[in-house]
Amino acid sequence: MNLYLPIAEMPVNVLIFLGMGGAVGFLSGMFGVGGGFLMTPLLIFSGIPPAVAIGTEAAQIVASSVSGAVAQYQRRNVDIKMGIVLLTGGIMGSILGVQIVKELRQLGQFELFVSLAYVIFLGIIGSLMMIESLNTMRKARSGAAVSARRPGQHSWIHGLPLKMRFHRSKLYISAIPVIVLGAIVGFLGAIMGVGGGFIIVPAMIYLLRVPTNVVVGTSLFQILFVTAATTILHSVQNHTVDIVLAMILMIGGVIGAQFGAVAGEKLKGEQLRFLLAGLVLLVCLRVAWNLVVMPSELYSISSVIGGH
Amino acid sequence: MAARDEFRQKFRQRFEDANRSIRKIKPRDLRSAMTGRNAVFALGAAMVVLLIWIFNTGGEDADTAALRETGASSPAAIMEEMSKTAMPAQQADPAAPAKKTEQANVEQSALEASVEKAEQEKAERRRAAMADRTVQNPNFIESVEVDISTRSVAITSGFSGQRIVVFGAVHNSQQASPQQGLYDVVVVLEGAKSKLVSRRKSNVAGLWINTQSVEFESVPSYYTISSTRPIVEISTPRVFDEHGIGFHHIRIEPQAAGANKLNPAELKSFRESIIRLKASEGLYQRRPTGVEFIGRSLFRTAIDLPANVPIGPVVARTYLFRDAELIAENTAAVQLQRQGLEALMYSFAFDYPLFYGMFAVAIAVGAGLAASAVFSRGAH
C-alpha cells in the first residue's frame, strides 16, 4: 500500500512506516523515552530527506508526549514555573537550531552535523547508562544493600545570581542554569529531531537537583511545548514537516507504546536501563559507521536552497 | 573511592525513582480530560481523513478528461488504445530487427569521434543531393508531428509513476515499410531545469566529509532519451551537443564562480556524478531501442514516468534523422501537477506555513490524547 508524501515528494509503503512507528513506539513505551533518537535515524536510513525526517519527527514527539504530560499535570507533578523558564530557553534554542539547520543545508554540512551530534550525545549517554546499569546488576547479584538517598550538596550552580523560587520543586536557585539547560535541549531537539528527554532528565536530577517526581512531569511539559514550537518553526522556516508521514508514524507509535508499556512492567529497572543503553549505543555506532567507512558513492547532489 | 560509590548509588536511586514515576503514568488519568466517546470520535475523524487521502484518486479524472479532450478526431485516442491493448503484440513483433543492436547501450565518445569525419562527408553529399530533389519536388521535405498521450499527469496521494506514450508521424514519409529503417527518431523527455549542487566527500581526520562542491546551472530535473537505435549509430556528437541529445551531451554548465577553481578533469567528474546519481534515482533513463515505427510514418514510444518524477512541466523534444542528418524536429509538452488533497496540503504548507505548523501540532495533540483515552477504555 503506497502513499505519496506531499512534502517529502516520494511514495512510501504505508505498512512499513506504520510498522516502524509501532516498533519505535513499543520501545519508547517500554523504556519511558520519547523515541526520537531512534525514529529520526530510521527515517533517514529509509530514504526520507534528513531535514524532512527531523521536522516531521518533532510533530510525532508532540503526539507521544502529550498524554504523559497531561497525566503528570493532573498528578500535580509539573512545576509550571520551572517549566516556563525552561521553555523560554527552549524556544530560544529551538529558533537558533532551526536557523542553523537552514544554514547548514545551504552549506551541505547538515548531515555531517546531525551525525556528529548523534554520535557524541548518544555515545556519552549510552556509555554512562550502560556502566551504571551493569554496576547495579552486579551489586544486586552480590546482595549489597541499597543505601538511602543522600541530601544533595551545594555546587557552583547555587552560587549564580538571578535567583528564583520554584515552589513545587522546593528549590531556590538561579534562573540562568535553567534557561541554559532549556536552550540546549531546544537546540538539540531542533537539529537532531529528538525530544531531549535523555539529556534534560539527568541534568535536572544531578545539576539542578529537582525532586525526581517533579522531574518527569516538568521535563514532559517542556518537551511537549518545545517540540510543538519546533514543529511550527520548521514549517515556517524550512517547509519540512510532512503531515501525512507524521500521521502514519503517530498511529503506529501510539499503538506500539501501549504494548511497550505493558512489556516494560515485566522487567526490572536496571534491566530496562541496560537494554536501553545497548539500543542507544547501537544507534550511535550505526551513525558513526557511516561517518568513518568510505562511502561507495563519494558524490551527492542536492538542489540549491534559497539560491534564487 | 567512597565518593564514587556514593555517586553511583545516588544515580541509581534517582534513576529508579524517575523510572518508577514514568511507569506510574496510566492512560486512564486522561479520562477526566476527555471522555471516551469524544476520543473515539476524534480518532475516527482522523482515520476518515486518512482513508479519504488513501482512496483519493482524483487524478484519474484529469487523465480521462485529457483523453476525452484529444478525442476521436486525433490519433491520440487510437495510440492510447494501442498502448493499453496491442502492446504485447507489438513487442513480440520487432519493428526493425536490423536496428536493434542491444549491446551498444553506452555511447562511446571515441567511436563517435572516429565516425564523425566520415559522417560529415556523407552528410555533405546528402545535403547537396537533397537540395537537388527539393527543387524538383517541394513536397519531398519531411516534417515530424508529435503528441503525448495525455496533457496532464496528476500527482495524487496514490501516485506511483505513470506510463505516457509519445507518438508522432513523419509527414511525407519516403519509406515503404516500418522495417526499411529509412528514418531514425529520437525522443528526449525533459523536466524543468534548475540549479543543482554536486558535493564530493573526502576523508578528513578519519571522517568522510563533504569538502568540494560545484554548482551547476540549469540541470534537467528529469531526462529520458528514447530512440530507434543507440544514438551513437544515428548521428554525430556535434548534432547531439547542439541539441542536448544523450547523457554525454546534456547541457549542464557549471556556474562560472565554481568552475574557475577546478581543472577540467575534476569538473568532468562532477558533471558525470550528476548524471550517474540522477540515473541511479531512475530520473535519467535511456531506451536505445525505445522508439518503434508502426507504419510507414507512424512511430511511438512508451515512457514510464517514475514515482519520484519531479513535479512540473515535462517537454518531449522529438528529432527526425535520415542518414545521420537531422531533418526535422518538433515538441510536445505534458504538465505534471499535484491534484486533490495532495495539492491542497502542498499549497497549505507553502502558502500558510504558520497555520500548517499549528495544524500539524493540533493533529499531534489530538492523536496523542485520543489514543490514550481509547486505550484506557479498553483496559477497563
A9 touches chain B (CB under 8 A): yes
pTM score, whole prediction: 0.70
The residue of chain A nearest to residue B272, with distances taken between CA atoms, is A299
Between these two residues, B348 and B260, which has the higher pLDDT value? B348
How far is the CA of B220 from the CAs of A105, A198, A306, B216, in angstroms?
21, 44, 18, 11
- Report how far residue B159's alpha carbon sits from residue B155's, in angstroms, rounded to the nearest whole number: 6
How far is A147 from chain B, CA to nearest CA, in Å?
7
The number of distinct structural domains making up chain A is 1
Question: Is A73 domain-assigned?
Answer: yes
CB within 8 Å: A261 and B157 = no
CB within 8 Å: B10 and A146 = no
> Does B269 have pLDDT greater than 80?
yes
pLDDT of amino acid B140: 67
Q: What angle in degrees, to the nearest 10, is found between the helix axes of A269-292 and A110-142?
A: 150
What ipTM did this prediction achieve?
0.85
pLDDT of amino acid A297: 83
Query: B95-126: per-residue pLDDT in tens?
Result: 333 333 444 444 444 455 555 556 566 666 66
Give the B window 106-165 contacts with A, CB below 8 Å. Answer: 155-160
A14 touches chain B (CB under 8 A): yes
How far is B151 from chain A, CA to nearest CA, in Å?
21
Instruction: Please give the torsion angle defined by the CA atoms of residues A54, A55, A59 and A60, in that order, rounded to the nearest 10 degrees.
Output: -30
> Does A245 have pLDDT greater than 80?
yes
B356 touches chain A (CB under 8 A): yes
Question: Is A149 domain-assigned?
Answer: no
Give me the residue from A235, A254, A258 closest to B349, CB to CB.
Answer: A235
The residue of chain A nearest to residue B44, with distances taken between CA atoms, is A251
Q: What is the H or E stretch that residue A164 is in?
A: strand A163-166
Question: Is A279 domain-assigned?
Answer: yes
Distance of CA A94 to the CA centre of its chain: 13
The mean pLDDT of A16-42, rounded to a whole number, is 86
The residue of chain A nearest to residue B375, with distances taken between CA atoms, is A258
Query: A182-228: per-residue pLDDT in tens?
Result: 999 899 888 888 888 878 888 888 788 888 778 888 888 888 998 99
- Report how far residue B71's alpha carbon sits from residue B81's, in angstroms, rounded to the nearest whole number: 12
For chain A, the average pLDDT equals 84
Structural domain for A161, as ranges: 12-139+157-292
Residues of A in contact with B10 (CB under 8 A): 149-150
Q: What are phi and psi of A165, to 5 degrees?
A: -100, 125
pLDDT of amino acid B363: 93
Question: Is A70 domain-assigned?
Answer: yes
Question: Is A303 domain-assigned?
Answer: no
A226 touches chain B (CB under 8 A): no
Identify how many contiguous H helices and E strands chain B contains and give both numbers. 12, 13
> Does B188 have pLDDT greater than 90?
yes
CB within 8 Å: A2 and B273 = no
Residue ranges with strand state E in B156-250: 162-171, 183-191, 193-204, 207-220, 223-227
CB within 8 Å: B360 and A231 = yes
B46 touches chain A (CB under 8 A): yes
